[in-house]
């Protein structure tokens, strides 16, 4: 089952089926055919990532990689709970500068498909939260970019007390979207 994440029409929330029995449950978290059918997206994932955030209130993001190593990301929570946020940073897009968010938890099993041309970040809602994501572009440190998570123009409604946010310095000091140059252009 999948639906678009408002206000976007190319970002999808997926909820893979769980097959329950007396032992617990089984779920296919990704398959090439299933993903294509749910989203219409035909891409090749080249890397799987996993990170753990020790403390609730840890914010990572909002990150993107510039072309030619832009990345689409299929994100889920492997442990704990997080609030995932994406921002459309494609110049000329009808939803440029708008944000969307969804709670991903190990329990609800939801996933978010983040197309290329979005900045992505999240806040851990529990201690020890783990995020797992597949990416369809290789990591390129020199092409990494960040938009300030608390950029007032974005007005993201983060569901936690912002004064407790824990960030790495580069994320804390990131430029606002209006001062960043992600280089993505909406192609219609």
Ligand X SMILES: Cc1cn([C@H]2C[C@H](O)[C@@H](COP(=O)(O)OP(=O)(O)O[C@H]3O[C@@H](C)C(=O)[C@@H](O)[C@H]3O)O2)c(=O)[nH]c1=O
Binds ligand X by CB under 6 A, chosen from 102, 120, 125, 137: 120
Inter-residue contact 79 to 107 (CB < 8 Å): no
E strands, the chain, in order = 2-4, 12-14, 19-21, 24-26, 47-53, 59-65, 73-79, 81-88, 90-91, 99-105, 111-114, 118-124, 129-135, 144-146, 184-185
Contact at 8 Å (CB) between 42 and 36? yes
> 104, 15 in Cβ contact below 8 A?
no
Q: Which residues of 82-92 are buried (b: 16+ CB within 10 A; e: fewer)?
A: bbbbbbbbbee
Q: Please count the residues of this chain forming the interface with ligand X, following the rule CB under 6 A.
A: 11
Q: Is 63 a catalytic residue?
A: yes
- Contact segment (CB under 6 A) with ligand X among 6-14, 56-64, 97-105, 154-162 equals 56-64
Rank residues 14 and 114 by Cβ distance to ligand X and give the closer one.
114
Among 61, 72, 115, 137, binds ligand X (CB under 6 A): 61
Q: Does 139 bind ligand X (CB under 6 A)?
A: yes
**Minimum CB separation from ligand X for residue 18, in Å?**
26
In this complex, which beta carbon is closest to ligand X, that of residue 49 or of residue 164? 49
Per CB under 6 A, the list member of 51, 105, 126, 150 interacting with ligand X is: 51
Q: Give, in order, the Cα–Cα distances in Å from 48 to each of 12, 72, 93.
A: 19, 12, 28
Q: How many residues does the chain have?
A: 188
Which residue in 14, 58, 63, 182 binds ligand X (CB under 6 A)? 63
Q: Which of the following is catalytic: 63, 64, 83, 118?
A: 63
Output the smallest distance, CB 59 to ligand X, in A. Answer: 9
**Does 60 help bind ligand X (rule: CB under 6 A)?**
yes
Residues lying near ligand X in the complex (CB under 6 A): 49, 51, 60-61, 63, 73, 120-122, 139, 168
Return the active site residues.
63, 133
């Amino acid at each position: 089952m999948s639906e678009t994440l408002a206000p976007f029409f190319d970002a999808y929330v997926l909820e893979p089926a769980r097959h329950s029995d007396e032992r617990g449950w089984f779920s296919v978290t990704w398959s090439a055919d299933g993903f294509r059918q749910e989203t219409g997206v035909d891409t090749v994932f080249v890397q799987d990532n996993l990170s753990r955030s020790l403390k609730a209130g840890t914010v990572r993001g909002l990150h993107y990689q510039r072309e030619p190593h832009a990345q689409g990301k299929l994100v889920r929570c492997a442990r704990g709970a997080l609030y995932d946020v994406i921002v459309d940073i494609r110049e000329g897009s009808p939803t440029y500068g708008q944000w969307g968010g969804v709670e991903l938890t190990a329990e609800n099993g939801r996933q978010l498909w983040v197309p290329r041309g979005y900045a992505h970040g999240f806040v851990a809602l529990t201690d020890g939260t783990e995020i797992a994501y597949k990416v369809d572009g290789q990591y390129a440190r020199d092409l990494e970019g960040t938009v300030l998570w608390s950029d007032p123009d974005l007005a993201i409604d983060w569901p936690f007390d912002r004064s407790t946010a824990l960030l790495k310095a580069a994320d804390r000091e990131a430029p606002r979207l209006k001062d960043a140059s992600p280089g993505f252009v909406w192609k219609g």
